[in-house]
Each structure stands twice: as structure tokens, then as C-alpha cells.
Structure 1
């Protein structure tokens, strides 16, 4: 069931969203060659708890899935060909020339905020830099479609059209989602689709829109058995950006800005 949030609920989501943005801003000043992904995770968790909130991802188990190991970290830190759900580790050190996608969720006052950014570490190949730039643009274009009266897949189609115009692949088995008092709510928000299809958008709907775009031909992210991290099928680089937004009458409000 898709929930319509009241203004009070959206205000609480603004609080959570602003904190997520502050975490990612803080990490932008810390992420550099030689730092471990575990250290980034420690910094993020401490920052969140210092602001009277809880990490959304830590110990998370998808609803309805039994036998799944709870997610063991505050952040998802995914490097190069990792699309999503890279688990922080003291052994995973960030190097010059990599791209690092950091996904963070915060639970505060009963509501979640969820956002992701891809950081470029030093000098990278121009084709990789363009991938990151275009993925960010895909998010912006998807958000432009998130207005009352449009259909859900207008968001999806805008993302797909822009990505494919550069010859990139859209990761089809990883999607955005509704968000609110639960981290993952209905509806699923795919990054591909036909315009003018899907549920009608209404003011008060809150969504996490998150394009995941690959440089190569991979259309799926795949995981080894028991592993959280999902990588591109062909080993090509992937970028990821995400905002939590509220549908508006004239334009969406970005809650994680």
C-alpha cells in the first residue's frame, strides 16, 4: 500500500533527510586514498548517533526474507564495478583513480531519510568521470518528473532515456522505493520504463529515487551466494546517486538536500 504523508510527517522526514545530507557532506571531506571503508562507516555511525538518530541500514533485514544475515554496517560503500551494498571493511582501502558510491540511511523521530552519492577519488579516466556526471543528471531529470498528476514511470523513463543516450546501461534489477516510517515502502521505482504508465503520483507521496547506471552492457547487478555486495555482470564501472523526495503539485521537494 502506498502511503500519503501528512505535512507533519514530511517535516519529520525533512529532519532525517537533512541529517543524511550532513553525513554525506562530512564524508566528502574524509574520503581519500588510503582510508578504509570501515573508517568511513565508523565516522558516519558516530555522526548519526551524536545527532540523536539511528543508522537505517545497520542490522537491516528485508521484510519477508528469512535466513538473511542482517546488514552489518551503517553505510553501503561500493567501489568501481560494485553497484550497491558494498560492506565496509578494514581490508577495503580506497585508492586514487577509483569511484566510490556511498549510500546512507538515517532513522530519526520515527522516519527515514535515504541518499547516495558517487565520489571521484583523484584523477579518473574521462569516460568514468562522464558516467558519474550523467548518473547525477539522471537523478535530476527523474526528480523533475516527480510531480502530482504524472505517472510513476515518467520518472523511470526520464532516467533511462538520458542514460541510454550516452550508451550506458541501466541496472534493471535494483530499484528505488517508497520511504517513510519504513525504509522500504511501496511503490518500487525502477530506473527504466514507458512514459505515462505506472501509478498516478499524488502530493504527499515520498520516494527514494536512485539511478544506478553502468558504463558497459550490464543490465543486472549480481551477488555471490551469501554476499551483500552486487556487481555489474561484465565488471564495468557503475555510478549511483539517490535522493529522498516528496511529490509536490508543481515540483518535488528534495528532502535529503
Structure 2
């Protein structure tokens, strides 16, 4: 069941999106060599408290997970692609860090992710991140009314494959609304012109996840949550929550 949101509901979702954008900016500013992942989680929790918002992630317990998620941030370092649980690990010079965050305001959710390098960057990591960001914007650009889900996947996948990167198998974006994860699944690879037709009022999280080594496979960490690249190469993950409107896509989680 896909719920089409009204213009007023999209404005309400934008409030959640602003909290998400604020938290990601604060976390990025706080991420420095020597900072622990748990300290970054505390920064994000502080943004939630100040905004009177709730975490979309804390205590979330999907069927695949062995236990409820224990934090408000996902912090994925280097070969961790997504769902990394914040720990006492202290960031090192050159770490590639992916931050995923969700917030709920008045019953509506927003979800977004960024990737960046802490300290001295490796040019290969910067190119990986830039390519993933470019694919995100291409996917958003394809989210036009009358287009199809396959158009989003085709736009994202073409950029990743052309660059020689892998795409995390079996993972992609999703619908967002009164729940953080709603229908439909939004693939990061697909055939243009195929799949569900996009209609004004649909809200989607579009989130490319590119693997530097070129492989799509992954392994699940001992915590039951973190997904690592199977080949040990680095990965980048970026995401925005967007609304399909008659005037084109509207990014709800932009700063």
C-alpha cells in the first residue's frame, strides 16, 4: 500500500527533513581524528532533543535484525557500507565515514545519509564519494511524475557501473512517511521505463551505495547489523528523502 501525501503533509515532512539535515551537518562538524563514534551519536541525539524530535532508528527492530537498533545514528567506517552501530572506535586520519540518520516530527519521518573523509583524504575515496553523490542527484532527477522506478535505478546504476564500482546487492531506497520504511522498494539498478509509475505525492528515500572494489557482495558483521563489503574495499552511501510532485522532485532533507 503506497500512501500519496498531500502538499500539507509534504510540508510537515519537510520539518522532519530539516532536523535530519541539521543533525548531519552537526555530526560532520564534530567528526575529527580522535572523536569516537559514540560521541557522534551523542551529537545527533542532542539535535533531536533540541528540536523536540524523535529518532527513527533507536529501537527499530526489523525482521532481519537479531536485536533492536541501539543508537540514533548509523556510523559506517571504511569497508562498512551501511547500518554500522556507533561504538567507542575513535576516528583515524583518512577514515571514510558514512553517516545515516532519521528523525520523526509529529508522526512524519525523514531519512538521509552522507559520506565524507576524516582528516587527510585519499583521492580515490573522494572520487568514490563524488560519484555516489552524482548518482544520487541523477536518481533524484529521474523521480519525475509519469516516470517509473526503473528510471531511478537506471540513472543510479549507469553512473556506478560506468565508474567501475559495485552496487550493494539486494539493497536500495524505500518509501518514507508515517513509518521510516514504507513501500515501494527503490532499486539502485534497473531498466528505464519499467516498474511502478511515479505519481505526485509519493515520498521516496533514494540512496546509492557504491563499492570501490567493484563487487556487489557483502557480509554481515558480528553485531547482526553492519554490512561490510565482501572484498574489504571501501564504500560510500548517500541519501535524500524526496517527494514526487507535479513540478518535479522536491528534496525534503536538504539543508
Shift of 1:3: 1.1
Corresponding residue of 1:33? 33
Change (3 A) 1:203 1:60: same
Answer yes or no: is the 8 Å Cα contact 1:173–1:221 preserved in 2.
no
Answer yes or no: is the 8 Å Cα contact 2:65–2:224 preserved in 1.
no
Helix, strand or coil at the partner of 1:76: strand
1:92-241 to structure 2, matched below 5 A, reads 92-224=89-221, 226-241=223-238
Q: Which runs of 5+ in 1 are unaligned?
A: none
Corresponding residue of 2:68? 70
Answer yes or no: is the 8 Å Cα contact 2:135–2:156 preserved in 1.
yes
Shift of 1:226: 4.7
Answer yes or no: is the 8 Å Cα contact 2:135–2:155 preserved in 1.
yes
Give per-residue Cα distances to partners, 1:104-142, cap 9 Å, x unaligned: 000111100000000111222211110010000000000
Answer yes or no: is the 8 Å Cα contact 1:168–1:215 preserved in 2.
yes
RMSD value over aligned CA atoms? 1.2
What is the TM-score normalised by the length of structure 2?
Answer: 0.97
Shift of 1:194: 0.8
Q: Distance in 2 between matches of 1:164 and 1:8?
A: 38
Answer yes or no: is the 8 Å Cα contact 1:80–1:99 preserved in 2.
yes
Helix, strand or coil at the partner of 1:252: strand
Report runs of 4+ in structure 1 exceeding 4 Å deviation: none
1:6-17 to structure 2, matched below 5 A, reads 6-17=6-17
Q: Distance in 2 between matches of 1:126 and 1:220?
A: 24
Helix, strand or coil at the partner of 1:247: strand
Answer yes or no: is the 8 Å Cα contact 2:66–2:224 preserved in 1.
no
* 2:78 maps to which of 77, 80, 92: 80
Shift of 1:248: 1.7
Answer yes or no: is the 8 Å Cα contact 1:173–1:220 preserved in 2.
no
Q: Distance in 2 between matches of 1:158 and 1:22?
A: 28
Answer yes or no: is the 8 Å Cα contact 1:170–1:214 preserved in 2.
yes
Answer yes or no: is the 8 Å Cα contact 2:203–2:241 preserved in 1.
yes
Answer yes or no: is the 8 Å Cα contact 2:65–2:225 preserved in 1.
no
Shift of 1:67: 7.3
Shift of 1:225: 5.1
What is the TM-score normalised by the length of structure 1?
Answer: 0.96
Q: Which runs of 5+ in 2 are unaligned?
A: none
1:37-52 to structure 2, matched below 5 A, reads 37-52=37-52
Give per-residue Cα distances to partners, 1:176-228, cap 9 Å, x unaligned: 10000001000001101111111000000000000000101320332035521
Q: Distance in 2 between matches of 1:98 and 1:87?
A: 16
Q: Distance in 2 between matches of 1:15 and 1:225?
A: 36
Answer yes or no: is the 8 Å Cα contact 2:19–2:47 preserved in 1.
no
